[in-house]
Protein backbone atom coordinates (compact mmCIF):
# COMPACT_ATOMS: atom_id res chain seq x y z
CA UNK A 1 0.00 0.00 0.00
CA UNK A 2 1.45 3.30 -1.07
CA UNK A 3 1.60 6.31 1.24
CA UNK A 4 0.66 9.46 -0.70
CA UNK A 5 2.75 12.43 0.35
CA UNK A 6 0.75 15.34 -1.05
CA UNK A 7 -2.76 16.23 -2.20
CA UNK A 8 -1.42 16.67 -5.73
CA UNK A 9 -0.08 13.11 -5.77
CA UNK A 10 -3.44 11.86 -4.51
CA UNK A 11 -5.32 13.15 -7.56
CA UNK A 12 -2.93 11.43 -9.93
CA UNK A 13 -3.19 8.14 -8.07
CA UNK A 14 -6.98 7.89 -7.92
CA UNK A 15 -7.74 9.35 -11.35
CA UNK A 16 -4.97 7.42 -13.10
CA UNK A 17 -6.28 3.98 -12.23
CA UNK A 18 -9.42 1.91 -12.84
CA UNK A 19 -9.98 0.93 -9.19
CA UNK A 20 -8.57 2.59 -6.09
CA UNK A 21 -9.10 2.36 -2.36
CA UNK A 22 -7.83 5.28 -0.31
CA UNK A 23 -7.43 5.17 3.45
CA UNK A 24 -7.60 8.63 5.00
CA UNK A 25 -5.86 8.23 8.34
CA UNK A 26 -4.21 9.94 11.29
CA UNK A 27 -0.94 8.40 12.37
CA UNK A 28 -1.78 8.73 16.08
CA UNK A 29 -5.25 7.11 15.92
CA UNK A 30 -5.40 3.53 17.15
CA UNK A 31 -8.25 2.52 14.82
CA UNK A 32 -6.41 3.94 11.80
CA UNK A 33 -3.51 1.62 12.61
CA UNK A 34 -5.89 -1.34 12.73
CA UNK A 35 -7.45 -0.43 9.36
CA UNK A 36 -4.01 0.15 7.83
CA UNK A 37 -2.79 -3.35 8.75
CA UNK A 38 -5.90 -4.96 7.20
CA UNK A 39 -5.65 -2.89 4.01
CA UNK A 40 -1.94 -3.73 3.60
CA UNK A 41 -2.84 -7.42 3.68
CA UNK A 42 -5.60 -6.93 1.10
CA UNK A 43 -3.37 -4.80 -1.14
CA UNK A 44 -0.91 -7.66 -1.53
CA UNK A 45 -3.76 -10.01 -2.45
CA UNK A 46 -5.71 -7.73 -4.83
CA UNK A 47 -3.03 -6.32 -7.10
CA UNK A 48 -5.58 -5.20 -9.71
CA UNK A 49 -6.81 -2.53 -7.25
CA UNK A 50 -4.64 0.42 -6.21
CA UNK A 51 -4.46 0.76 -2.42
CA UNK A 52 -3.19 4.10 -1.12
CA UNK A 53 -3.30 6.06 2.09
CA UNK A 54 -3.27 9.78 2.74
CA UNK A 55 -2.61 11.50 6.06
CA UNK A 56 -5.77 13.46 6.92
CA UNK A 57 -3.64 16.18 8.52
CA UNK A 58 -2.11 17.09 5.15
CA UNK A 59 -5.27 16.57 3.10
CA UNK A 60 -7.38 19.38 4.55
CA UNK A 61 -8.87 20.35 1.16
CA UNK A 62 -9.86 16.78 0.30
CA UNK A 63 -11.25 16.26 3.79
CA UNK A 64 -13.70 19.09 3.08
CA UNK A 65 -14.46 18.16 -0.54
CA UNK A 66 -14.98 14.47 0.30
CA UNK A 67 -16.82 15.29 3.57
CA UNK A 68 -14.45 13.28 5.74
CA UNK A 69 -15.45 13.80 9.36
CA UNK A 70 -14.57 10.48 11.01
CA UNK A 71 -11.32 8.51 10.85
CA UNK A 72 -10.46 6.03 9.67
CA UNK A 73 -12.26 6.74 6.43
CA UNK A 74 -11.80 4.45 3.44
CA UNK A 75 -13.03 5.87 0.15
CA UNK A 76 -13.53 3.63 -2.87
CA UNK A 77 -12.91 5.11 -6.32
CA UNK A 78 -13.63 3.80 -9.79
CA UNK A 79 -11.95 5.80 -12.58
CA UNK A 80 -11.42 8.66 -10.13
CA UNK A 81 -15.07 8.87 -9.05
CA UNK A 82 -16.17 8.08 -5.49
CA UNK A 83 -18.43 5.02 -5.52
CA UNK A 84 -18.63 4.24 -1.81
CA UNK A 85 -16.95 4.62 1.57
CA UNK A 86 -16.36 3.01 4.94
CA UNK A 87 -16.62 5.44 7.85
CA UNK A 88 -14.95 4.44 11.08
CA UNK A 89 -15.75 0.83 11.90
CA UNK A 90 -19.52 1.09 11.32
CA UNK A 91 -19.45 -1.48 8.51
CA UNK A 92 -17.33 -3.77 10.66
CA UNK A 93 -19.91 -3.97 13.46
CA UNK A 94 -18.29 -1.14 15.40
CA UNK A 95 -15.68 -3.52 16.81
CA UNK A 96 -11.90 -3.21 16.70
CA UNK A 97 -11.40 -6.95 16.56
CA UNK A 98 -12.56 -7.84 13.03
CA UNK A 99 -10.77 -10.10 10.57
CA UNK A 100 -9.14 -9.09 7.32
CA UNK A 101 -11.55 -11.45 5.58
CA UNK A 102 -14.52 -9.55 7.07
CA UNK A 103 -13.15 -6.29 5.65
CA UNK A 104 -12.57 -7.96 2.29
CA UNK A 105 -16.19 -9.15 2.18
CA UNK A 106 -17.44 -5.63 2.97
CA UNK A 107 -15.30 -4.15 0.16
CA UNK A 108 -16.56 -6.76 -2.29
CA UNK A 109 -20.19 -6.00 -1.36
CA UNK A 110 -19.78 -2.22 -1.20
CA UNK A 111 -18.71 -1.60 -4.75
CA UNK A 112 -17.34 -4.78 -6.23
CA UNK A 113 -14.03 -2.95 -6.24
CA UNK A 114 -12.20 -6.11 -5.39
CA UNK A 115 -13.34 -9.50 -6.51
CA UNK A 116 -13.21 -12.95 -5.07
CA UNK A 117 -10.20 -14.94 -6.18
CA UNK A 118 -11.76 -18.23 -7.20
CA UNK A 119 -9.76 -21.43 -7.01
CA UNK A 120 -6.88 -19.92 -5.07
CA UNK A 121 -5.76 -20.72 -1.56
CA UNK A 122 -6.36 -17.33 -0.06
CA UNK A 123 -5.01 -18.21 3.39
CA UNK A 124 -8.43 -17.90 5.03
CA UNK A 125 -9.29 -21.22 6.57
CA UNK A 126 -12.47 -21.91 8.51
CA UNK A 127 -11.80 -21.72 12.22
CA UNK A 128 -8.37 -20.19 11.82
CA UNK A 129 -9.24 -16.54 11.26
CA UNK A 130 -6.95 -14.25 13.18
CA UNK A 131 -7.68 -10.61 13.59
CA UNK A 132 -5.04 -8.03 12.92
CA UNK A 133 -5.53 -6.56 16.36
CA UNK A 134 -4.60 -9.84 18.03
CA UNK A 135 -1.39 -10.11 16.04
CA UNK A 136 -0.14 -6.56 15.69
CA UNK A 137 2.14 -4.35 17.69
CA UNK A 138 0.47 -0.97 17.66
CA UNK A 139 3.61 0.74 18.87
CA UNK A 140 5.06 0.03 15.43
CA UNK A 141 5.45 3.24 13.50
CA UNK A 142 5.15 1.47 10.15
CA UNK A 143 4.22 4.19 7.70
CA UNK A 144 4.69 2.55 4.31
For 44-60, write each residue's pLDDT tens digit. Answer: 999 889 999 988 887 66
- Packing angle of the helix pair 30-45, 100-111 (nearest 10 deg): 70
For the chain, the farthest-separated pair of C-alpha atoms sits apart, in whole angstroms, at 44
Q: What is the pLDDT of residues 78-135, one digit of tens each?
A: 988 889 999 999 999 889 999 999 999 999 888 666 655 543 444 443 333 444 444 4
Q: pTM (2 decimals)?
A: 0.74
Residue range 2-135, CATH number:
3.40.30.10
Using DSSP bridges, classify how beta strands 19-25 and 2-4 pair: parallel, antiparallel or unpaired. Answer: unpaired
Contact (CB, 8 A) for 129 and 98: no
3-state secondary structure (DSSP) of residue 50: strand
DSSP code of 90? Answer: G
Amino acid sequence: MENIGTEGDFLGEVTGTEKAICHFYHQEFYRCKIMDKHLKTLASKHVDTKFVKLDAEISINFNMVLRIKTLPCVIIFRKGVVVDRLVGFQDMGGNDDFSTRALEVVLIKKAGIIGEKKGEDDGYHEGSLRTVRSSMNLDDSDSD
